């Protein structure tokens, strides 16, 4: 008597995604989040988040840079116990990626900064709060007591720097990120085209787009005004900043063209925690940051939002590896897949950060949306490690990459 072998189940079981909230079940990758967020956010708000500067050359090049490398796999390797944990500047994290700093997140989702911080804390990955955020840093520090970092935009003024550092330390953050690629306001023509301004100027276009997207109008803007009042730039200095609807916004974020290496030395003398410099794109600057006492650097072109035509971090990573010294070397800009993460680590990065997709996720599903995005990327890395033939991330090297 012969028996028919059971049919092999291909793909996920029919009910495998039932635990995922309905609005997130169609989100299968980080790339799916952009279109989903576009349906939620008013056109000016979405355009601000999505866009870069001028011709978007750098914005597009960031994603394309990862496609310049292909994998060389190893087979017949026991990868059953693979682990993607990562120790970064003395702290253990459960995945090799974190959430990059992004301003105005409270306009993308209700309590957007807090929901991202909570999702990151639950997942055991770093979350970087932007100095251009609309949520007080003290609230966010409570939401991510072990994984929260603070990113500052500082002008070249000693009193301002000292006051801000004291506040960040008192809030409880242990890692301070200084962004250094914003010497002047960028030429964000995209913002003008979609009707986004800083400060915000309520007008017919924004009002009409809000009415067309009642979920955002009531669930984000309405809840924010009811719960917290008019949003302010809460973390630009030692005290509360100006409201988002204000003529003083540009003035408050000015004077950055005075910033120089002496100011970074001042920060290093004042700040007792881990110090990270973000916005570097050359090996020379990486070396100078190490000499200035930084604990880490983040290679970044601001997600294509500053100088159009700036090289993608992935392309300057090999030269930065040679210059980093004792520092942790991280990068952001263009990470969209688990394979992107592994390519960066194989080239010598210690960690990577993801920006826009996490903001899109918050807009689509709040904290559950961000948690879903984190899970998608972590699952991709777990799967890709097996297919690549590595049991832990320390085994990655340039031997796994082929340039195209």
Q: Is 278 annotated as a binding residue?
A: yes
Strand partners, 152: 178
End-to-end CA distance of the chain: 55
Extract the runs of DSSP E, i.e. beta strands, from 72-138: 86-88, 91-93, 97-99, 127-129
300 carries a ligand binding annotation: yes
Question: Is 179 known as a binding-site position?
Answer: yes
- How many whole angstroms separate alpha carbon 402 and alpha carbon 94? 28
Q: Which of 232, 263, 302, 400 is catalytic?
A: 302
Tell me if 302 is assigned to a ligand binding site: yes
The verdict on whether residue 172 carries a ligand-binding annotation is: no
| CA gap 297, 304 in Å, rounded | 18
What are the backbone angles phi and psi of residue 229, rounded to the nearest 5°?
80, -165
Residue from 109, 104, 87, 105 nearest 96 by CA: 87
Q: Is 36 in a helix, a strand, or coil?
A: helix
Known binder of ligand: residue 333? yes
Residue 248 assigned ligand-binding role: no
- Please tell me whether 155 is known to bind a ligand: no
Calpha distance 68→161 (Å, rounded): 40
**Is 372 among the catalytic positions?**
no
Query: Is 305 annotated as contributing to ligand binding?
Result: yes
* Rounded Cα gap, residues 196 and 63, in angstroms: 25
188 is in an annotated binding site: yes
Question: Known binder of ligand: residue 246?
Answer: no
Q: How many residues does the chain have?
A: 404
Is 263 known to sit in a ligand binding site?
no
Decide if 238 contacts 163 (C-beta within 8 A).
yes
The catalytic residues are 302
Annotated binding residues, written as ranges, equal 48, 101-103, 130, 151, 153, 179, 188, 278, 300, 302, 305, 332-336, 355-356
Please enumerate, by residue number, every residue annotated as part of a binding site for FMN: 101-103, 130, 151, 179, 278, 300, 332-336, 355-356
Q: Binding site residues for glyoxylate, as ranges?
A: 48, 153, 188, 302, 305
């Amino acid at each position: 008597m012969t028996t028919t072998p059971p049919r092999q189940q291909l793909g996920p079981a029919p009910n495998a995604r039932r635990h995922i909230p309905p609005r997130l079940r169609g989100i299968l990758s980080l790339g799916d989040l952009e279109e989903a967020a576009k349906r939620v956010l008013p056109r000016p708000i979405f355009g601000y988040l999505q866009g870069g500067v001028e011709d978007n050359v750098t914005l597009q090049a960031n994603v394309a840079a990862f496609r310049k490398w292909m994998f060389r796999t190893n087979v017949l390797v026991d990868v059953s116990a693979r682990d993607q944990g990562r120790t970064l500047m003395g702290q253990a994290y459960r995945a090799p990626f974190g959430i990059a700093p992004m301003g105005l997140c409270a306009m993308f989702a209700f309590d957007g900064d807090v929901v991202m911080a909570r999702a990151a804390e639950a997942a055991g990955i770093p979350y970087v709060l932007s100095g251009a955020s609309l949520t007080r840093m003290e609230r966010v520090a409570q939401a991510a007591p072990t994984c929260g970092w603070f990113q500052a935009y500082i002008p070249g003024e000693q009193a301002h720097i000292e006051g801000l550092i004291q506040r960040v330390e008192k809030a409880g953050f242990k890692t301070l990120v200084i962004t250094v690629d914003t010497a002047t306001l960028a030429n964000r023509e995209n913002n003008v085209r979609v009707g986004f301004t800083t400060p915000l100027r309520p007008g017919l276009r924004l009002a009409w787009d809000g009415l067309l997207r009642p979920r955002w109008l009531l669930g984000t803007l309405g809840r924010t005004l009811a719960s917290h009042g008019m949003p302010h730039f809460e973390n630009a200095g030692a005290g509360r900043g100006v409201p988002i609807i204000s003529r003083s916004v540009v003035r408050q974020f000015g004077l950055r063209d005075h910033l120089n290496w002496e100011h970074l030395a001042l920060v290093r003398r004042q700040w007792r925690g881990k110090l990270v410099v973000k916005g570097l794109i050359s090996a020379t600057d990486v070396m100078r940051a190490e000499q200035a006492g930084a604990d880490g650097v983040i290679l970044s072109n601001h997600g294509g939002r500053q100088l159009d035509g700036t090289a993608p971090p992935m392309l300057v990573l090999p030269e930065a590896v040679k210059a980093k010294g004792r520092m942790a070397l991280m990068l952001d800009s263009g990470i969209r897949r688990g394979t992107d993460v592994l390519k960066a680590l194989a080239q010598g990065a210690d960690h990577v950060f993801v920006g826009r997709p996490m903001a899109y996720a918050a807009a689509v599903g709040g904290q559950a949306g961000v948690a879903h995005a984190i899970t998608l990327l972590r699952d991709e890395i777990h799967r890709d490690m097996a297919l690549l033939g590595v049991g832990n991330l320390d085994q990655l090297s340039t031997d796994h990459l082929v340039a195209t």
